[in-house]
Amino acid sequence: MNIYEKLADDIERLIRQGVYRHGERLPSVRQTSQQHRISISTVIRAYLLLESRGLLTSRPQSGYFANFRGGDEEGQALDLRPSRPIPISSPVDVSRLVLSTLRSIGVDDALPLGSPYPDPSLFPFERINRYAYDIGRGKSRWGVTDALPPGNPNLVRQIARRYLENGMAVDPNEVIITVGATEAINLCLQAVAKPGDVIAVESPTFYAMLHAIERLGMKAIEVSTHPEYGIDIDALAAIADSQAIAACMVMPNFQNPLGFQMPDERKRELVEFATKRDIPVIENGVYNELYFGNSHPSTLKAYDTKGLVLHCSSFSKSLTAAYRIGWALPGRYRDQVEKLKFLNTLTSPTIPQQAIAEYLERDGYEHHLRRVRKAYAQQANLMKVVVSRFFPEGTRMSNPAGGYVLWIELPPKVDGMRLYNLALDEGITIGPGYMFSVSDATYRNFIRLNYSSPWTSEIEQAVITIGKLAAVCAR
């Protein structure tokens, strides 16, 4: 193959892949000559060849422009997603499975019943984005120092006010803004434990918490967890008697995937146990605003008198996931967490912090939340009705008190990974139980479904299809 033919083929590939979209100008002949260290005449021959293939058009005094729509009148967008979700089989690599599930949500319009994220349609993104736009225009020179830890003072104040409105006084000086709750959890783990330490977690537990433990070189030990009352404190005590526990990590309200709200007396008992044993407790409170009852749930933090509870939360599940703004209330570990925040990521984005603060101050956050809670409660009931009717005999499910996920136990013969792959073939994603434990087999016949999307006939049919596929797997 001649040099000009190879160059033409390379450029054609980029055009067809959408790197150069229809109507976009390609580098000049001189630029391409310099970049590839070939003669100008060679580049011209390549461009003429592409023009003869109908992939380029030349404009006098302007240069060469891509001429390929790819069947899309608006031009072909660059798409780096895999053409199909990554198939997974046991034994399961949990991190790879989670990544595959997240990718599959955006492929071929797959229905996101396996998503860990809330459907964004109820969130006021346009309004918050308008605040961000106005803030960006109003100050031309935003700098790093505007967002140094602990974070934007106005946002810190609004967060403290929100806790007070829900019955818990918070010292604003304790609040540290983070990049979502995930960073808050990671920072708190780093503050209380070191590589090799043992961290007690609920079983099942949200996989992001297991990922944080793994990434930091720590070891997770699972503690049996009741689907209504939460972590088994007696079992936790027995484990603590036999080995050192550096910290306990729990989600007492609307736990993912079980959905329970831990009773107040159990919360108090857990904090008293941790205080007696001097064990830090990292509390994940990202779903606290999404309750179905008549009042906001209490937190472990509310019962803490010694600063042992490190409370983490974010706006990603209740307001907007796009801006990734979270926070930590780290108790006695506040200074360590602030230092680690500075060392890990220096700051959290400035404009998103201020935009969310403006929304909280001006736009009726509570009114927005009431609408979201009502929708989720209705959608949870609809999904439970469909599951009870169309899933195989022997199926059991959780009774969420808030949040947006349903935990389903299928008959023992059903392998969640087989069901996962069958559902993908139908354009539906689910969350296999394998993702919620460090053990391959503990939740092999469990799945988690997301009910945050508005209930439609398409969603209903997808749940029915999963039930039919589960019946096939149960034979």
CATH code at 104? Answer: 3.90.1150.10
Of 118, 84, 120, nearest to 100 by C-alpha is: 84
CATH number at residue 14: 1.10.10.10
What's the rounded mean pLDDT across residues 441-459?
A: 95
Integer CA distances (angstroms), 346 to 155, 159, 349, 440, in order = 17, 21, 10, 37
148 shares its domain with 186: yes
Residue 79 lies in a domain: no
Residue 88 lies in a domain: no
Task: Count the domains in the chain.
Answer: 3
Convert the pLDDT of each residue in 314-335 to its tens digit. 999 999 988 999 999 999 999 9
State which of 335, 363, 391 marks the end of a domain: 363
328 shares its domain with 447: no
| Residue 246: partners with Cβ closer than 8 Å, 6 or more residues away | 192, 193, 194, 197, 198, 199, 218, 279, 280
Q: Is residue 299 a contact partner of residue 168, using CB atoms and an 8 Å limit?
A: yes
39 shares its domain with 102: no
333 shares its domain with 396: no
Convert the pLDDT of each residue in 251-295 to its tens digit. 999 999 999 999 999 999 999 999 999 999 999 999 999 999 999
249 shares its domain with 315: yes
Does pLDDT of 466 surpass 50? Answer: yes
Mean pLDDT of the chain: 90
Rounded Cα–Cα distance for residues 416 and 447 (Å): 6
Chain-centroid distance, C-alpha 427:
21
316 shares its domain with 395: no
358 shares its domain with 374: no
What's the rounded mean pLDDT across residues 137-164?
A: 81
Residue 409 lies in a domain: yes
Residue 78 lies in a domain: no
190 shares its domain with 307: yes
Q: Is residue 320 a contact partner of residue 337, using CB atoms and an 8 Å limit?
A: no
What's the rounded mean pLDDT across residues 24-28?
A: 91
Residue 468 lies in a domain: yes
442 shares its domain with 395: yes
Residue 81 lies in a domain: no
Residue 132 lies in a domain: no
**What residues make up the domain containing 414?**
94-122+367-473
pLDDT at 155: 94
Rounded Cα–Cα distance for residues 30 and 162 (Å): 60
Convert the pLDDT of each residue in 87-104 to its tens digit. 333 344 566 667 666 666
pLDDT at 102: 67
Rounded Cα–Cα distance for residues 58 and 56 (Å): 7
Total-model pTM: 0.81
Does pLDDT of 72 surpass 60? Answer: no
186 shares its domain with 282: yes
283 shares its domain with 166: yes
pLDDT at 36: 87
195 shares its domain with 336: yes
